[in-house]
Structure 1
Amino acid sequence: MVNLFSKRLKRGRIFCLFLMLIVHNSWSAQIEGTQSLFNQAEQIRSSDPVQFITIIEKLKQREELLTKEQSHNLKYLIGYSLSFQGKFDEALTIYKNILSSNAQTTLKLKANLSIVNTYAISKQWPEGLYYLSDTLNTLPKISDDLLIQRSYAVAAIFYNQLGQYELGLSFANKLLQESIEGRTLCVAHNLKLESLFKLDLLEENDPQIREGIEACQQSNEVVMVSAIYSYLATLYLKQNNPHQAISILESNFDSLKTTKYVPYLAIFNSLLSQAHHDLGTNRQAEEYALVAIDEAKNINISNSSVNAYRVLYQIAESRGDHKMALEYHKKFAEADKAYLDDIKTKHLAFQLAEHQATEQKSRIGLLDKQNNLLKIEQRLARSEAENNRLFIALLIAIITLLSFWGYKSWMTQKRLKQLAEFDALTGVFNRGHFTQLAQSALQYCENSDIYLSCILFDLDKFKTINDSYGHACGDWVLKRVADVCKVQGRSNDIFARLGGEEFSILLPGCDLLTATKLAETCRKAIEQIDTRNSGAKFIITASFGVTDAKLSGYDLEKITADADMAMYCSKHDGRNRTTVFGRALADENANVNAGENAGSEASENRQGRLTL
């Protein structure tokens, strides 16, 4: 009996051990399988969006089995998926929660980089610059080569999206200098080609295009391959080769459709529309244009819409359908203005960030000096307690030192005031100080019932000057334009550079007729600038917009917006001209031209006529 019981007990123990071994092996297999899913998701997150979402759903089903770090990683992948679907606010919430959690430093850096990338896509430039600066400042402390490479990639992406293509190109080159392969190599080539394309430094036979396509095809990055094909197709269209452009686009169109990535679907349809219009196949061109507009409707600002509306306008005009042509032209003008305004907004955001960084450095320097002064005072106080015989000498030293540092602080404050009020390049008021002075002037003129006018002007094709002759030449042009315009006005006129190549003159006590004459005088003076001292020979022109308080009221935003609208009309009507806001002042503008001689009138009608 005892032997039988002992045998059964032994068998039971063996069975339990066998069962525990099975459970352990099953548990280990699940852990290994889960980590394999994470690795797979990381590899295909942009190349295969459909499979990526499927993997996320599988990981959600195993959420109870995940470690803390795997849970944080799953949240990050969910945030990435939301970003890819355009749900930026939800994605940003997840990323920022990771930053405030106890996740590992590497995952926090990934989240920070995704925040920068999301802000770039959603066009929230100041916020993106803040997080990008924080990321780049921490890079020297990072030893993970993959994270460093990814940081370079995100920086290049952000700067390209912001329109700072020189910076984007520098980070793309840094990335290509790293030991990279696969998807990262594809991203690096794509970013460099985008920067070169936007800087007009890319040609259709450039071997870098083929290198980029091969790198992205090997890693199955369909979206990035499509981006490179869009650059190549655009270059063919510029070379008046629409057949080749269509061939390039159609060869990759089916693959792009599988990604359902709307921005490049809109770009492809827009380019196909333009190519067919160049060939004269207007039916196909119209179909592609309408699809491009429909796909781009959920994109805030898109050059695809601008190109598509232009094609539709030209097709309607060729058919003699003037009503539809006018409707499409209005939409084209609206989309084109929004696109140009978006470019200006990007440049302004970057300039503002640079100004804030400079101001912050100045403040830090001032605080350092103040801290040094406190340390010196403490040392002097200790020395006085140790040796009273040196009291007088030390007191003189303190007074001298305080006077010196006081003078330095005064000079620093003076310099800060100069930076805060004046544009460093041209010497005229900057945008911030102009706003303060303009508000005061408008309030005073409104209370005193005094005339007030506003002139807004923008240099024509300034980017071409920068691209053709260099930024040093462009800076020379801005300074020379500011100099010649300053001497035309009065001492109490408020003359400012609003940003880039855009200037404004607020004229208290000046009626619309006088302001229009001044605008014409400035326009002619700009056109007569001798550019040979810049090292190149070219002509500078500007487009002017004029309004006054009677037409636009005493609200700064309204009066500048009306002047900007008039200036935009000058741009639209052929540039190098002055446009007055509103039709009620036609007689006054006629008087402006009445004093010109017959030869001057003919020249003005060709180049600088007043538009009412």
Structure 2
Amino acid sequence: MVCLLVSLLPGAVVVGAENAGPAATFDARLEQADTLRSADPATFRELLAELNATTPDDLTAGQGERLDYLNAYALVLGGRYEEGIAAATALFERAQGANMKVRAGALVVNARAITRDFAGGLRMLGKVLPFTRDDIDDANREHVFGVAAVIHNQAGQYRIGREYAERVLSTTEAPRARCFAGQTRLQAMQELKQSPAEDREFTALVDVCEAQREAVVANLVRAMLARKWDGEGNRPRAVAILERHLPEVERTGYPPLIGEFHALLAEYKLAAGDPAGADAHALATIERGGGDFTRSLVAAHLTRYRVAEARNDPVQALAHYRRYAEADKAQLDEVKARELAYQIVSHETFQQTQQIELLNRQNEVLQLQQRVQEQSAQNSRLLVLMLLLLLASIAFWAYKTKRVQVSLRHLAETDALTGISNRHHFNDRAAATLARSARMGEDAALVMFDLDRFKSINDHYGHGVGDWVLQRVVEACATARRDVDWFGRLGGEEFALLLVGADGAEAVRVAEECRRCIAAIDTRGSGYAFAVTASFGISTTTLSGYDLTRLLTHADRMLYRAKRGGRNRVCLYGIPGPAALPVADAHPPSARMDEPVSLHTGERRRATAS
């Protein structure tokens, strides 16, 4: 998406400097700086420095507001976003005219979107939009609608973004505004799976943008056209347009656009059987695409993983897959954050609207009562107050009831000590997940583990230390599991992990990682030095089927095989011996279980190991 700061800026006509007098000259230079602020940033900065240095003593309020706007714009343009936001917000609050208010407010929305503060941007947009109903310049009104279209697209509200973009297109004939609004509209339509069937809407918009020398926007439209052609089964044509305009895209120096082109070429070349070309474009996306939250970066890591997999290079495939998973999670988190920001602001706006509507109705009732009988005014105010208290009470108890419901559900599903699923909730969710996996023909594995000699820990150091150990064990295993896996405490020191989409080898890898993390727990934080280990048993749907009870039984059988085999090891159902090599002595002389060491006193306590 085109950077909001340079998108949909209203054009201005440069006023000639032939008017006599210093005031006319100052106005002309203000107009010239305003016109060049996005088209020629370097000249804009020079003009602004000159304006600040030659500010006349008799500066009018309008001239001062315009100079303040240009200074705020320069701060944002230079990457000093917080300072620019503060300056533009202050100008919005004190500006006398609606035109300057909407310009300052739109600048705040742009800057907050650049800094990913979508909630703040949407709140400011809510303050600016009412001014579009006033008598303001058409260019400023179109500018606000264009900014609204872009930020709603970024927040994932493509239907609203499309509506605002179409409002701009329906009211302006300015080519540059139509270029940006058209690209925003097509982007929203493509995200909504409603792309125009005809290519001419894309090609005509490219012609408009190129005539305005907006290479970034023109090539964003070409990228959308390439996606359309690929979706229609015409991938060679999509590759051709991307390769033909790639040099032009590289010259723009705009990382998101460069990353978009390379990511699409990587995907299409891999599908066409050109892994070397796909890998080269994917690497270019990663190195030059910019940002940690883009879909292009996610697609590039996925392409490199698939290329490594096709080359039978498991080491590189695993490395690329991890990077893909990390980028994909970051991108999904970013999308969720944007959508959440929109929901929060929408809820706030709804509440404010409801409050205003309620107050308006109350005022109407009061005015009517005053006209009928002036003496009843005091009773009317008391009635309004009681109504407000009643509404507040209803809202309060509704809120309290919801909180209690959420709390009870959490208590019913969560193990209070460790914060993970309790036995009932784990069994319920695991059974449902296994049923879904069975329908989809997807592998799954169950990992059970039990802490070794945990009773001795409780007996020797107390239940408080035992609880501490259970919490640290859950924390140690958290990094080894994915969001789609289920993790629960079955009781006491026994835990279970349901790994979705995992075969025996993957389950052994996860179990080994958990085993190593548990063995690495530094117990000195409990006040004592001792070793913590666990024994693991694994069953898979390949050999045990999708019945949860059978999986638990087979995994439990393997767990006790691990116990009998010396503890601190992993056993997989269906393999005669342990699935992992024996590990080193889990109880070194410095921390023997029969001689616990208190870190508080430095003394050993005699105890009998169990």
Gaps of 5+ in 2: 1-16, 450-466, 488-496, 515-534, 552-610
> Does the 8 A contact of 1:266 with 1:296 survive in 2?
yes
Residue 501 of structure 2 is matched in structure 1 by 573
- 1:54 is displaced (CA, Å) by 1.9
Q: How does 1:538-553 map to 2 (within 5 A)?
A: none
The 1:442–1:520 alpha-carbon spacing in structure 2 relative to 1, beyond 3 Å, is closer
The Cα shift of 1:263 comes to 1.7
> Within the alignment, does 1:310 sit opposite 2:302 as a pair?
yes
String of CA shifts for 1:275-294, please: whole Å, max 9, x gaps.
Answer: 33233333333232222112
Which residue of structure 2 lines up, in the alignment, with residue 259 of structure 1?
252
**In the alignment, which residue of structure 2 is the partner of 1:114?**
107
Establish whether residue 200 from structure 1 lines up as the match of residue 189 from structure 2: no
Deviates more, 1:151-160 or 1:118-127: 118-127
| Aligned with 2:429 (options 507, 511, 519) | 519
Whether 2:337 is the aligned partner of 1:336: answer no
Residue 383 of structure 1 aligns with which residue? 375
- Counterpart mapping for 1:6-155 below 5 A: 28=20, 35=27, 38-43=30-35, 45-46=37-38, 48=39, 51-66=40-55, 67=59, 69-70=62-63, 72-84=65-77, 86-100=79-93, 104-155=97-148
Partner of 2:344 in structure 1? 352
Shift, 1:309, TM fit? 0.7
Structure 1 residues 108-163: Cα deviation after superposition (integer angstroms, max 9, x where no partner):
32111011122222221111111011111222124321111111111101100111
Alignment partner, residue 265 of structure 2: 272
Task: Quote the RMSD (CA, aligned, Å).
Answer: 4.9
Aligned length: 470
Q: Which residue of 547, 551, 556 maps to 1:593?
A: 547
CA apart distance, 1:190: 1.1
Distance between the aligned counterparts of 1:293 and 1:572, measured in 2? 29
CA 1:224–1:408 in 2, change beyond 3 Å: closer, same or farther?
same
Deviation at 1:296, TM superposition (A): 3.6
Does the CA contact (< 8 Å) of 2:434 and 2:546 recur in 1? no
Note if 1:247 corresponds to 2:236: no
Distance 1:62 1:140, change over 3 A: closer
**CA contact under 8 A between 1:121 and 1:161: conserved in structure 2?**
no
1:410 to 381, 390, 413: 390
TM-score by length of 2: 0.63
Cα-to-partner distance string for 1:304-330 (whole Å, 9 max, x where unaligned) = 110111111122222222211111110
CA 1:362 to 1:39, structure 2 compared with 1: closer, same or farther past 3 Å? closer
Post-superposition offset of 1:61: 2.6
CA deviations 1:422-473 (Å, max 9, x no partner) are 8xxxxxx6xx777766788899x74xx6x9754xxxxxxxxxxxxxxxxxxx
Q: Map of 1:355-434 to 2, 5 A cutoff?
A: 355-367=347-359, 383=375, 406=386, 410=390, 413-414=393-394, 417-418=397-398, 420=399
Provide the rounded CA distance (Å) in 2 between the counterparts of 1:295 and 1:230. Answer: 17
Give how far 1:249 is off: 2.2
State how far apart, in whole Å, the 2-side matches of 1:379 and 1:553 are. Answer: 71
Paired AA for residue 106 in structure 1: N
- Pairwise CA distance, 1:210: 2.1
For 2:136, what is the secondary structure of its paired residue? Answer: coil
Q: 1:171, CA displacement in angstroms? A: 0.8
Identify if the C-alpha distance between structure 1 residues 564 and 169 changes in structure 2 by more than 3 Å, giving closer, same or farther. same
With over 3 angstroms needed to count, the CA separation of the structure-2 counterparts of 1:170 and 1:416, relative to structure 1, is farther
Greater share of helix residues, 1 or 2?
1
* Structure 2 counterpart of 1:475: none
Contact in 2 for aligned 1:56/1:77 (Cα 8 Å): no
| Conserved? CA contact 2:430–2:498, under 8 Å | no
Q: Contact (CA 8 Å) 2:292, 2:327: kept in 1 or not?
A: no
Cα distance in structure 2, aligned partners of 1:416 and 1:352: 19
Per-residue deviation, 1:240: 4.5
Which whole-Å CA distance do the structure 2 matches of 1:440 and 1:209 have between them? 55
1: CA distance, partners of 2:117 / 2:153: 14
Structure 2: which amino acid aligns with 1:227? Answer: L
Question: In the alignment, which residue of structure 1 is the partner of 2:214?
Answer: 221
Equivalence map 1:137-216=2 (5 Å):
137-203=130-196, 205-216=198-209
Is the Cα–Cα contact under 8 Å of residues 82 and 88 in structure 1 kept in the other structure? yes
- 376-385 or 173-182: bigger deviation: 376-385
Q: Distance in 1 between matches of 2:320 and 2:405?
A: 37
- Any idea what the Cα deviations from partners look like across 1:141-189, whole Å, max 9, x if unmatched? 2432111111111110110011100000111111111032221111221
Change over 3 Å in CA distance of 1:523–1:179 after alignment to 2: same
CA deviations 1:455-507 (Å, max 9, x no partner) are xxxxxxxxxxxxxxxxxxxxxxxxxxxxxxxxxxxxxxxxxxxxxxxxxxxxx
Q: Is the 1:159–1:167 contact (alpha carbons within 8 Å) kept by the matching residues of 2?
A: yes
- Distance change >3 Å, CA 310–CA 342, structure 1 → 2: same
Inter-CA distance 140–588: structure 2 relative to 1 (3 Å threshold): same
Contact 1:277 / 1:311 at 8 angstroms: preserved in 2? yes
Counterpart residue number, 1:601: none
- Contact 1:158/1:168 (CA < 8 Å) preserved in 2? yes
Give 1:327's match in structure 2, choosing from 319, 324, 333.
Answer: 319
Q: Is the 8 A contact 2:279 2:303 kept in 1?
A: yes
The 1:317–1:108 alpha-carbon spacing in structure 2 relative to 1, beyond 3 Å, is same
Deviation at 1:59, TM superposition (A): 3.6
The one-letter amino acid of 2:295's match is N
Give identity over the alignment, percent. 23
Q: Is the 8 A contact 1:125 1:162 kept in 2?
A: yes
Give TM-score scaled by structure 1 length: 0.63
Q: 2:275 aligns with which of 270, 275, 282?
A: 282
Aligned equivalents of 2:388, 2:68: Cα separation in 1: 52
Instruction: Describe the shift of the 1:517–1:118 C-alpha distance in structure 2 as closer, same or farther (beyond 3 A).
Output: same
Q: Deviations over 1:61-84 (max 9, x none)?
A: 343334454554345345435545
Contact 2:369 2:376 in 1 (8 A): no
Amino acid at match of 1:92: I
Give the counterpart letter for 2:429 in structure 1.
A
Q: Distance in 2 between matches of 1:269 and 1:149?
A: 33
1:456-605 equivalences in 2 (<5 Å):
511-512=422-423, 514-520=424-430, 564=483, 566=485, 573=501, 593=547, 595=549
